[in-house]
Amino acid sequence: MNIRPRRNRKSKATRALLRETYLMPEQLVYPLFLEDGFNIKTEISSLPNNFRWSIDRLLPEIESCLELGLKSFILFPAIDQKLKNKTATYGYSDDNYYLKVCHKIKETFPESCLISDVALDPYNSDGHDGLVQNGKILNDETLPILGKMAVAQAQAGFDIIGPSDMMDGRVAFIRSALDQAGYSETSIMSYTAKYASAFYGPFRHALDSAPVESEDIPSDKKTYQMDPANKKEALREALLDYEEGADFMMVKPALNYLDIIHVLNENFDIPIAAYHVSGECAMLAAACKNGWLDFETAMPETLLSIHRAGAQIILTYFAKEYAQMWKEGKIVS
């Protein structure tokens, strides 16, 4: 035999030398859930090792992540029911604690990279990403609210704005709102191919942000999030976001959508991110808790597969654990 593929696998050193894909903590984004108040660190039951944080407890957490080389964070606010209304006005109000938390983090750790979430659902009493009227999610009427949210977030110091709402035309709308307000340096990470997935459950539970159950409010997000059956449509969404000025594009969820990550990465010359969403992380954590899978091998293999498929950036609730393992030299073997 001339050709023996096993020669390349014969030792730890050759495997490391010939490895095609490396994933570093710097390429991960750690989602953090926020709560207004003081001395709060409440574990999310369906997402072990993930918490709802108040700012005072969050700052040391961010410091420890930075020390591990984990520099990027995406922030999601839990909003008091009393502050929600039909038009999500708290989303861009000067009092919004989410904006204050961002400001405080950037002031304390200017080297961090903070990504925002732009959608109405945390602030909207209907629990939808857009305005709801007569049982419909309005598109064009939602855009100005998204624009205001994005400008308020840029002003608070967010480095990257993350529209997760899936309204048509929002990337262009937000880009021009940011530019007009003088924030031409603020980036946009677009949730380009965001599917109407069953895997967002723990996230909605963590933030209490699920669509409200009522006769005149749709109970799902299928009129704006994508049909899991569709792939060509992801290319169409991507072309729009690309032309509208997205700096990079995201696919969400990740594991069931590796083909979408691949096809976008092959077709576009901007970076592709993938959101390894709450339900995907919860499945793995649950199997590990039961002793059915080994966390320290299954978790890195999972993240690596998302990277290998074409995601340069991965948003994952395992970011800190991965960075910790990286530091301890447990990842490459």
Interface ranges with ligand PBG (CB under 6 A) = 117, 119, 121, 129, 164, 200, 203-204, 221, 277-278
Q: Which is nearer to ligand PBG, 191 or 326 (CB)?
A: 191
Amino acid identity at 145: I
- Contact between 253 and 280 under an 8 Å Cβ cutoff? The reply is yes
Shortest gap between Cβ of 199 and ligand PBG (angstroms)?
A: 6
| Bridge partners, residue 238, by sequence | none
Six-digit token string for 41: 């660190």
Judging by DSSP bridges, how do beta strands 41-44 and 47-53 pair with one another?
Answer: antiparallel
Shortest gap between Cβ of 126 and ligand PBG (angstroms)?
A: 13
Neighbours of 94 (CB within 10 A): 8
Shortest gap between Cβ of 317 and ligand PBG (angstroms)?
A: 7
Q: Which is nearer to ligand PBG, 17 or 214 (CB)?
A: 214
Alpha helices in the chain (DSSP H): 12-18, 55-67, 97-108, 143-156, 170-180, 201-207, 232-244, 258-267, 278-289, 295-309, 319-327
Six-digit token string for 193: 């191919």
The CA distance from 330 to 320, in Å, is: 14
Q: Which is nearer to ligand PBG, 58 or 274 (CB)?
A: 274
Catalytic residue among 194, 221, 231, 232: 194
Active-site residue, 222 included: no
Q: Which is nearer to ligand PBG, 155 or 278 (CB)?
A: 278
Q: Which is nearer to ligand PBG, 199 or 326 (CB)?
A: 199
Shortest gap between Cβ of 274 and ligand PBG (angstroms)?
A: 12
Q: Which is nearer to ligand PBG, 123 or 268 (CB)?
A: 123
Active-site residue, 100 included: no
Shortest gap between Cβ of 112 and ligand PBG (angstroms)?
A: 20
- Helices (H) and strands (E) counted in the chain, each on its own, are 11, 12
Catalytic residue among 252, 320, 327, 330: 252
The CA distance from 73 to 51, in Å, is: 14
Instruction: Give the DSSP per-residue string, 139-182.
Output: STTTHHHHHHHHHHHHHHT-SEE-B-S--TTHHHHHHHHHHHTT
Shortest gap between Cβ of 164 and ligand PBG (angstroms)?
A: 4
Q: Residue 2: which residues within 8 A CB-CB, separation 6 or more?
A: none
Q: Which residues are catalytic?
A: 194, 252
